A = this chain, B = another copy of it.
């Protein structure tokens, strides 16, 4: 198949419909698929691809946002103006989208400030690097109905995207998700699924495609490189008064989730602090690179790197303890987030207490080291939302009294199947081993937007509680007829029983009730619930918001992180010896898995801070292999990595739970950089902190 098999009109995209299933007419980055071959064996397919003769006409490439925005730059999407967009993106030439927030009066803010700090920051592209590369398998029925198994984070987004990109009615495509070997954001939107489906339709046979590691590097998606200018005004006592942020994002060849990343990073640009006057602006730019997209943190690790390292600069300038500076400005319960929702639970102050105490923090961040090394503590804070959009759950009590929970939520290895099972088990007072969990299936699962935006525990958990509540109501209705009593006199008893309150031996089992329901109601007891955020729009008196492609959500998790970093002054190599990461997750449904998320987020953040970087040699990705692209191993992980759970239950959450999937990564690069800066006295503003870069800074410091 080639682009000729795809209609020009059939373009997909989460926010801007700018992408065909396969390159059509124009190739926008090196690695973009131009042809696909299916064959009986991999060897035949490889041979066949070698016989393909592609004629390329070379076009000038634009490889940075600055080049792309320059006058007379080669335009990557000539028809961008006519593309369908889900919000007003402000697309012009290679400018893909722009977002702006204003709150208070920024000019007044500068006037009210005693001191103003301003600097530019830069972050690098990072690869998602799931252990399992992207892959898919499509089968086609004689009726033309297609079944698609694929590694993904949202079986429903796969369905929508494939149908959009191939012009298929959604009713003709069933999408399933088997076990997934991690996602981190790059399996939320499509990868090879449209290609595999089209090949199966053409071949009228099942087609399977698993990307090689190199292809997975080159053609899926990666974390956006950010260029961020941050300007902050403060009082001499450390009170934050004004914040201006200007962001330039390289989006790569297609918009994908990038407008969302831009918007969300700006929404988080004041951090968890009270800053009365703010103006945040950002631009997303098309370039001739692979698309960048959603990645754990969704723009916040980059933004936090800039804002939280500037906070330390301010603290040093004001001779304040960095923790005290933060504590002084923290948002409190009942405060309102940047332009939006009221916060009802905020355990960040407790998080700061915990890491301060655990780490033995003192204002003098420097710690004793060897002659050739320096060592210091660093701190950073961050916040993260607990979901977006909508999700459902179906709970069925089968004839033997066991339960099947079907949510459509993809467990990408983070353990949501376990957590949702626990929530259901607690709600119905049954042991967890009585509950089976259905895997996501567009034909049979309730709608679930996806495993993204740190939403599954909070949102799907809410749906599970709603569905379990409906089951409880139905169980009691049947039981009241079976026991000849009022529904109000009944209660769930442990182990799958409905009993008369205070009369322990008057009870009926779930199995007996379900058997009755089969006769009386035509099937097992079924509870269904769809949970939808009460999505407030921004109060225009409070803030101006232009180009935010999703509603604002007010349920936040918080993190305070302290790291103990050692810098080898002879090589520039930075190592994290110890780390204390306190997360306010509302309520830890499964504490061990919460700790696992905090640990995993830290180590992935460590890679982002110190070693990981996708490097382009001209237009070509130079290091698309595990030989050349390094991620942290046990060797690089801190000797002590202490996750600390703080529970500030949110009234809206299931049993008070908030999110934990992304919060643990957001502040890592900032805290490490603050520690390196404190240890060495340099001011690093560009990631990653490779030995070369740190050594360069140390040499510059020496020259000063």
Residues of A within 8 A of B (CB): 141, 145, 160, 163, 169-174, 179, 389-392, 398-400, 402-404, 406, 433-439, 441-447, 463, 518-524, 526, 528, 530-532
**In the assembled complex, which residues on chain B have CB atoms less than 8 Å from the CB atom of A438?**
174, 443-444
**In the assembled complex, which residues on chain B have CB atoms less than 8 Å from the CB atom of A404?**
170-171, 442-443
Compute how far the CA of A522 lies from the CA of B463 in the bound complex, rounded to whole angstroms: 10
B406 touches A447 (CB 8 A): no
Nearest 5 interchain pairs by C-beta = A444-B444, A447-B523, A522-B530, A171-B436, A390-B522
B530 touches A170 (CB 8 A): no
Separation in Å of the A606 CB from the closest CB of chain B? 29
Compute how far the CA of A434 lies from the CA of B399 in the bound complex, rounded to whole angstroms: 34
**In the assembled complex, which residues on chain B have CB atoms less than 8 Å from the CB atom of A402?**
169-172
A524 touches B174 (CB 8 A): no
Select the residue from A170, A463, A518 with max chain B CB neighbours within 10 A.
Answer: A170
Which single residue of chain B is at the shortest CB-CB distance from A170?
A: B398
Which single residue of chain B is at the shortest CB-CB distance from A147?
A: B439
Q: Which of B392, B442, B522 contacts A522 (CB 8 A)?
A: B392
A444 touches B447 (CB 8 A): no
**In the assembled complex, which residues on chain B have CB atoms less than 8 Å from the CB atom of A446?**
523
Can you report 28 residue pairs joining A to B where beta carbons are below 8 Å apart? A145-B437, A169-B400, A169-B434, A169-B436, A170-B398, A170-B399, A171-B398, A171-B402, A171-B403, A172-B402, A174-B436, A390-B518, A391-B522, A404-B442, A404-B443, A406-B444, A438-B444, A441-B443, A443-B444, A444-B444, A447-B523, A463-B522, A520-B532, A521-B530, A522-B530, A522-B531, A523-B530, A526-B528
**In the assembled complex, which residues on chain B have CB atoms less than 8 Å from the CB atom of A174?**
436, 438
Separation in Å of the A175 CB from the closest CB of chain B? 12
B390 touches A519 (CB 8 A): yes
Q: Which of B145, B441, B447 contacts A524 (CB 8 A)?
A: B447
Compute how far the CA of A444 lies from the CA of B179 in the bound complex, rounded to whole angstroms: 18
**In the assembled complex, which residues on chain B have CB atoms less than 8 Å from the CB atom of A145?**
436-437
Compute how far the CA of A527 lies from the CA of B170 in the bound complex, rounded to whole angstroms: 17
Separation in Å of the A495 CB from the closest CB of chain B? 13
**In the assembled complex, which residues on chain B have CB atoms less than 8 Å from the CB atom of A439?**
443
Compute how far the CA of A519 lies from the CA of B435 in the bound complex, rounded to whole angstroms: 30
**In the assembled complex, which residues on chain B have CB atoms less than 8 Å from the CB atom of A389?**
518-519
**In the assembled complex, which residues on chain B have CB atoms less than 8 Å from the CB atom of A444?**
406, 438, 441, 443-445
**In the assembled complex, which residues on chain B have CB atoms less than 8 Å from the CB atom of A532?**
519-522
Compute how far the CA of A398 lies from the CA of B168 in the bound complex, rounded to whole angstroms: 12
**In the assembled complex, which residues on chain B have CB atoms less than 8 Å from the CB atom of A442?**
404
**In the assembled complex, which residues on chain B have CB atoms less than 8 Å from the CB atom of A441?**
441, 443-444
**In the assembled complex, which residues on chain B have CB atoms less than 8 Å from the CB atom of A531?**
522
Compute how far the CA of A145 lies from the CA of B405 in the bound complex, rounded to whole angstroms: 13
Q: Which of B171, B179, B437, B523 contacts A434 (CB 8 A)?
A: B171
Separation in Å of the A160 CB from the closest CB of chain B? 6
B519 touches A436 (CB 8 A): no
B443 touches A406 (CB 8 A): yes
**In the assembled complex, which residues on chain B have CB atoms less than 8 Å from the CB atom of A141?**
179
B400 touches A170 (CB 8 A): yes
A523 touches B436 (CB 8 A): no
**In the assembled complex, which residues on chain B have CB atoms less than 8 Å from the CB atom of A403?**
171
Which single residue of chain B is at the shortest CB-CB distance from A141?
A: B179
Compute how far the CA of A392 lies from the CA of B522 in the bound complex, rounded to whole angstroms: 7
Separation in Å of the A159 CB from the closest CB of chain B? 8
**In the assembled complex, which residues on chain B have CB atoms less than 8 Å from the CB atom of A437?**
145
B447 touches A522 (CB 8 A): yes
Separation in Å of the A150 CB from the closest CB of chain B? 17
Separation in Å of the A620 CB from the closest CB of chain B? 38
**In the assembled complex, which residues on chain B have CB atoms less than 8 Å from the CB atom of A399?**
160, 170
**In the assembled complex, which residues on chain B have CB atoms less than 8 Å from the CB atom of A520?**
532
Known: A145-B436, A438-B174, A518-B390. A163 touches B445 (CB 8 A): no
Q: Which of B171, B400, B447 contacts A435 (CB 8 A)?
A: B171
Compute how far the CA of A435 lies from the CA of B145 in the bound complex, rounded to whole angstroms: 10
**In the assembled complex, which residues on chain B have CB atoms less than 8 Å from the CB atom of A524?**
447
Which single residue of chain B is at the shortest CB-CB distance from A172?
A: B436
**In the assembled complex, which residues on chain B have CB atoms less than 8 Å from the CB atom of A443?**
404, 406, 438-439, 441, 444
**In the assembled complex, which residues on chain B have CB atoms less than 8 Å from the CB atom of A391?**
522
Separation in Å of the A513 CB from the closest CB of chain B? 14
Which single residue of chain B is at the shortest CB-CB distance from A403?
A: B171
Compute how far the CA of A522 lies from the CA of B459 in the bound complex, rounded to whole angstroms: 11
Compute how far the CA of A439 lies from the CA of B146 in the bound complex, rounded to whole angstroms: 12
Select the residue from A520, A523, A532 with max chain B CB neighbours within 10 A.
Answer: A523
**In the assembled complex, which residues on chain B have CB atoms less than 8 Å from the CB atom of A390?**
518-519, 521-523
**In the assembled complex, which residues on chain B have CB atoms less than 8 Å from the CB atom of A447?**
518, 522-524
Which single residue of chain B is at the shortest CB-CB distance from A146?
A: B436
Which single residue of chain B is at the shortest CB-CB distance from A524?
A: B447
Separation in Å of the A628 CB from the closest CB of chain B? 33
**In the assembled complex, which residues on chain B have CB atoms less than 8 Å from the CB atom of A519?**
389-390, 532
Which single residue of chain B is at the shortest CB-CB distance from A160?
A: B399
Compute how far the CA of A400 lies from the CA of B168 in the bound complex, rounded to whole angstroms: 10
**In the assembled complex, which residues on chain B have CB atoms less than 8 Å from the CB atom of A400?**
163, 169-170
**In the assembled complex, which residues on chain B have CB atoms less than 8 Å from the CB atom of A463?**
522
Compute how far the CA of A400 lies from the CA of B439 in the bound complex, rounded to whole angstroms: 24
**In the assembled complex, which residues on chain B have CB atoms less than 8 Å from the CB atom of A163?**
400
**In the assembled complex, which residues on chain B have CB atoms less than 8 Å from the CB atom of A523?**
390, 392, 446-447, 530
Compute how far the CA of A492 lies from the CA of B160 in the bound complex, rounded to whole angstroms: 25
Compute how far the CA of A532 lies from the CA of B521 in the bound complex, rounded to whole angstroms: 7
Compute how far the CA of A172 lies from the CA of B406 in the bound complex, rounded to whole angstroms: 13
**In the assembled complex, which residues on chain B have CB atoms less than 8 Å from the CB atom of A406?**
443-444
Separation in Å of the A471 CB from the closest CB of chain B? 13
